[in-house]
């Protein structure tokens, strides 16, 4: 299948790489193959490229360059953060608070900790996907070492009130972490203004390469964060994550950060226009409804329920138009989305919903074509028993 034949509307699963990002990486995949740890000229050249990328990432999220660790992606960053904090602060307490609509990287890491004597509170959300601030206040205890709430939900685009949650967390003397994989590069924010002590992100969600991500954790008072490493070896990344640095990946991540930073307003305007148009048209179809809070929601996603329709049949019918039901990680199994279930929906309603997520690479022709095809497909499958 040629990529020109497909209409890719699954950008929350992954984005196409920006050609300028690939260009920037090429020298480090070819001629400039030095190891950033080597003390010769070749190594130093790689090291300079890594330092430059640290600056590009820290400029985007507003942290210091010594507050970043490079990892293989958001999943690894999340594991290192949650397990590393749990281990380091276990004398203070063994209680963690998170929410039911988190990505499986957070939920499964917490479940793993529960097997090892930690206690995790999974907070429910309202039917619009938003967390009720009052309940957080009630569940934080003296032994709560970490509160982890995602910034933007990958399935619905719902934006949680991160700053308020951070404030409540800090008042109770705990660490606030956010999985910002879907927020970075799309929303303009600064970790210090928002009260974020720990943040995770990934390059391939912002037009960068796969297999490279970042863990930010605060390195200044108050709320300086300490954590135990998971991967030991040569002491790379200040001992927090050993292993030869993925220089081409890091260079690509840095470049991706710089471009989304510079072009954020332009990208938002373009994507929002397409999304709003698409969403209006879809909601004009009979028996459709929107999943997630209408206002506190990111501008690139529409999660739509087609009542009485199997999303699986719809996705197959859409053929060369790529959309998703559930998150990319779990959609190989036909299971209702845990996010929609946490929002109080029935299995049937969750299994009738699809997620359409746009990027700067999409255009109006694609959206119009997708709309026509969706309407046609709905007609052809509406008689199927579901």
Can you give the binding site for ligand PLP, defined by CB under 6 A?
Answer: 12, 73-75, 103, 105, 150, 154, 179, 181-182, 202, 205, 213
Token duo for residue 19: 């050609």
Least distance from ligand PLP to the Cβ atom of residue 258, Å? 19
Nearer of residues 79 and 310 to ligand PLP, judged by Cβ: 79
Least distance from ligand PLP to the Cβ atom of residue 307, Å? 27
State how far the Cα of 192 lies from the Cα of 65, in Å rounded to an integer.
14
Nearer of residues 14 and 219 to ligand PLP, judged by Cβ: 14
Q: How far is CA 107 from the centre of its chain?
A: 14
Q: Which residue has the tokens 């391939």?
A: 204
Query: Is the C-alpha dihedral spanning 191, 292, 182, 261 positive or negative?
Result: negative
Token duo for residue 32: 């400039």
Which secondary structure element, helix H or strand E, spans residue 267, and what is its range? Answer: helix 264-283
State how far the Cα of 131 lies from the Cα of 165, in Å rounded to an integer.
9
Nearer of residues 15 and 349 to ligand PLP, judged by Cβ: 15
Least distance from ligand PLP to the Cβ atom of residue 188, Å? 18
Least distance from ligand PLP to the Cβ atom of residue 245, Å? 17
Nearer of residues 107 and 374 to ligand PLP, judged by Cβ: 107
Least distance from ligand PLP to the Cβ atom of residue 235, Å? 24
Least distance from ligand PLP to the Cβ atom of residue 331, Å? 13
DSSP letter for 177, please: E
State how far the Cα of 161 lies from the Cα of 130, in Å rounded to an integer.
8
DSSP letter for 179, please: E
Under 8 Å CB-to-CB from 134, ≥6 apart: which residues?
A: none
The answer to whether the CB of 293 falls within 8 A of the CB of 130 is yes
Nearer of residues 253 and 378 to ligand PLP, judged by Cβ: 253
Is residue 329 part of the annotated active site? The answer reads: yes
- Active site residue: 63, 110, 257, 329, which one? 329
Rg of the chain over Cα atoms, rounded to whole angstroms, equals 21
203-218 CB burial, b ≥16 within 10 A, e <16: bbbbbbbbbbbbbbbb
Nearer of residues 154 and 300 to ligand PLP, judged by Cβ: 154
Active site residues: 329
């Amino acid at each position: 299948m040629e990529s020109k034949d497909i209409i890719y509307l699954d950008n929350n699963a992954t984005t196409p790489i920006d050609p300028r990002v690939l260009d920037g990486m090429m020298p480090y995949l070819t001629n400039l193959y030095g190891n950033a740890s080597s003390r010769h000229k070749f190594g130093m050249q790689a090291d300079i490229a890594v330092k430059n990328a640290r600056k590009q990432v820290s400029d985007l999220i507003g942290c210091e360059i010594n507050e970043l660790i490079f990892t293989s992606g958001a999943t690894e960053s999340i594991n290192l953060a949650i397990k590393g904090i749990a281990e380091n602060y276990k004398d203070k307490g063994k209680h963690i608070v998170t929410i039911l609509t988190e990505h499986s990287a957070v939920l499964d890491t917490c479940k793993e900790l529960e097997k090892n004597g930690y206690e995790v509170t999974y907070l429910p959300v309202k039917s619009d996907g938003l967390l009720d601030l009052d309940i957080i206040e009630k569940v934080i205890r003296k032994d709560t070492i970490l509160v982890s709430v995602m910034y933007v939900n990958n399935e619905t685009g719902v934006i949680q009130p991160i700053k308020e949650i951070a404030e409540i967390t800090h008042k109770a003397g705990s660490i606030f972490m956010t999985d910002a994989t879907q927020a970075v590069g799309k929303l303009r924010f600064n970790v210090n203004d928002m009260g974020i002590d720990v943040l995770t992100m990934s390059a391939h969600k912002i037009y960068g390469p796969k297999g490279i991500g970042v863990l930010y954790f605060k390195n200044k008072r108050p709320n300086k964060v300490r954590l135990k490493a998971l991967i030991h070896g040569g002491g790379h990344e200040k001992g927090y994550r050993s292993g030869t640095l993925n220089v081409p990946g890091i260079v690509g991540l840095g470049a991706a950060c710089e471009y989304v930073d510079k072009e954020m307003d332009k990208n938002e305007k373009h994507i929002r226009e397409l999304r709003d148009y698409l969403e209006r048209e879809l909601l004009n179809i009979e028996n459709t409804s929107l999943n997630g809070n209408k206002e506190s929601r990111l501008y690139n996603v529409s999660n739509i329920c087609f009542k009485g329709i199997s999303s699986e049949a719809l996705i197959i019918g859409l053929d060369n138009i790529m959309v998703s039901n559930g998150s990319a990680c779990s959609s190989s199994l036909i299971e209702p989305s845990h996010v929609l279930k946490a929002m109080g929906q029935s299995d049937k309603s969750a299994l009738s919903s699809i997620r359409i997520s746009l990027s700067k690479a999409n255009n109006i022709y694609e959206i119009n074509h997708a709309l026509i095809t969706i309407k046609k497909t709905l007609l052809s499958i509406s008689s199927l028993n579901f």
